[in-house]
Amino acid sequence: MLVTLWILSVLMLSIGVYCVIFVANEFLGFLLFFIPSSAIAAALFALRKVLVNQEEIMKKLEALSNQTNAPIPKKPCAKCGEEYEENLSSCPECGWKKGS
């Protein structure tokens, strides 16, 4: 869609330049020059907004994945000595629970 807009804008710019130079119709030339210029500016502005949003989302996702991928500290089980993740309430090896 953006590519189509670009091609259309470049085409209109070319016609505008052609009008000014060869047809000597300054008003038509100005119109054909001004419209695609505004269109390009608007498209670039929209694109920039989208890119900034995307960057923010990517940063948030990265922070989130860093959080979830962080290694969970392990500790040895008091009963069987098997190392297991600290956030588990009981030892997956022997079933020993903290405080029991």
Q: Hey, which residues does 85 pair with through a beta bridge?
A: 74
Closer CB to Zn ion, 30 or 76, in the complex:
76
Among positions 26, 83, 94, 98, the unique one binding Zn ion when judged by CB under 5 A: 94
43 vs 88, beta carbon nearer Zn ion:
88
Cα–Cα distance for residue pair 31/40, rounded to 1 Å: 14
Asked if residue 85 binds Zn ion (CB under 5 A), the reply is: no
Q: Number of C-alpha atoms within 13 angstroms, CB side, residue 24? A: 0
Q: What does the block give as tokens for 100?
A: 């029991």
Distance set, CA 86 to CA 21, 47, 96 (Å) = 77, 46, 13
Regarding 58 and contact with Zn ion (CB under 5 A), the answer is: no
Closest distance to Zn ion from the beta carbon of 70 (Å): 24
Site for Zn ion, rule CB under 5 A:
77, 79-80, 82, 91, 93-94, 96
